[in-house]
Structure 1
Amino acid sequence: MIFNHSYVDINGVHMHFVEDDLPRKGFLPVILCHGFPHTWFSWHRQIPALSNAGCKVIAPDMRGMGETSAPNAIDAYDVNTICKDLIGLLDHLEIEKAVFVGLDFGAFAIYDLALRFPERVVAVIGLENPAAPHNPSKPPLEEYQEMGADHFLHINYFCETIGRADKDLLERVDEFFPKVFWALSGEGNYFDTFQFPKETHYIDALNDAPSLPWSWLDETELQVFIDSYRRSGFTGGLNWYRSMDLKWKQRKPFENTKSNVPAYFLGSENDVDLKGFHGEDPISLLRKQFPNLRAVEMVSKAGHLVQLEKSAEVNASLVNFVRDIKENLGKI
Structure 2
Amino acid sequence: MEPTHRFVDTGGVRMHVAEQGRGHPVIFCHGFPHTWYVWHRQLAAAGAAGYRAIAPDLRGAGRTGAPESIDDYTNEAVVGDLLALLDDIDADQAVFVGVDFGAALLWELALRAPERVRGLVILNNPFAPRAPKPPGYYWGKMAERHFLHLQYFQEPGVADAHLAERPREFLSRVYYALSGDFHYLDVWKNPPGTRYIDALPVAPDLPWPWLSQDEFDTLAADFESVGFTGGLNWYRAIDRNWELTAHYAEAVPTVPVYFVYGENDPDMEGFSGRDPLDTMRALLPDLRAVQRVPGAGHLVQLEATEAVNGFLLGALGELTTGK
- TM-score, length-scaled by structure 1: 0.94
Q: Structure 1, unaligned stretches of length 5 or more?
A: none
Amino acid corresponding to residue 318 of structure 1 in structure 2: L
Alignment of 1:142-291 (within 5 A): 142-159=137-154, 161-287=155-281, 290-291=284-285
Q: What number of residue pairs does the alignment pair up?
A: 323
Distance 2:173 2:15 in 1: 28
- Provide the residue aligned with 2:13 in structure 1: 13
Cα drift, residue 284 of structure 1: 3.8
CA offset at residue 94 of structure 1? 1.1
Distance in 2 between the 1:142 and 1:274 partners? 20
Q: Structure 2: which amino acid aligns with 1:53?
A: A
Q: Distance in 2 between matches of 1:177 and 1:311?
A: 20
The alignment yields a C-alpha RMSD, in angstroms, of 1.4
**Helix, strand or coil for the counterpart of 2:245?**
helix
1-side partners of 2:130 and 2:267: how far apart?
A: 13
Q: Distance in 2 between matches of 1:308 and 1:13?
A: 28
Instruction: Indicate the SS of the match to 2:32.
Output: coil
Q: Which residue of 2 aligns with 1:101?
A: 97
Q: Secondary structure at the match of 2:63?
A: coil
Structure 2 vs 1, CA of residues 231 and 166 (structure 1 numbering), >3 Å: closer, same or farther? Answer: same
How far is the alpha carbon of 1:206 from its aligned partner?
A: 0.5
Residue identity in the other structure for 1:316? G
**Is 1:139 aligned with 2:145?**
no
Match of 1:4 in 2: 4
Task: Summarize the Cα distance change of 1:8–1:221 in structure 2 as closer, same or farther, 3 Å threshold.
Answer: same
CA contact (8 A) 1:258 1:288 kept: no
How far, CA to CA, are the matches of 1:269 and 1:255 in structure 2?
A: 29
**Structure 2 stretches lacking a partner, 5+ long:** none
* Corresponding position: 1:304 with 2:304: no
Structure 1: which amino acid aligns with 2:134? P
Q: What is residue 76 of structure 1 aligned with on the other side? A: 72
Do 1:78 and 1:243's aligned partners in 2 also have CA atoms closer than 8 Å?
Answer: yes
Question: Are positions 1:321 and 2:315 aligned together?
Answer: yes
Shift of 1:297: 0.6
Q: TM-score, normalised by structure 2?
A: 0.96
Alignment of 1:31-46 (within 5 A): 31-46=27-42
**Are 1:48 and 2:57 counterparts?**
no
| Distance in 1 between residues matched to 2:268 and 2:157, nearest whole Å | 29
CA distance in 2, matches of 1:263, 1:45: 21
CA deviation map 1:120-159 (0-9, x unaligned): 1100111000124552x21101101101212111011111
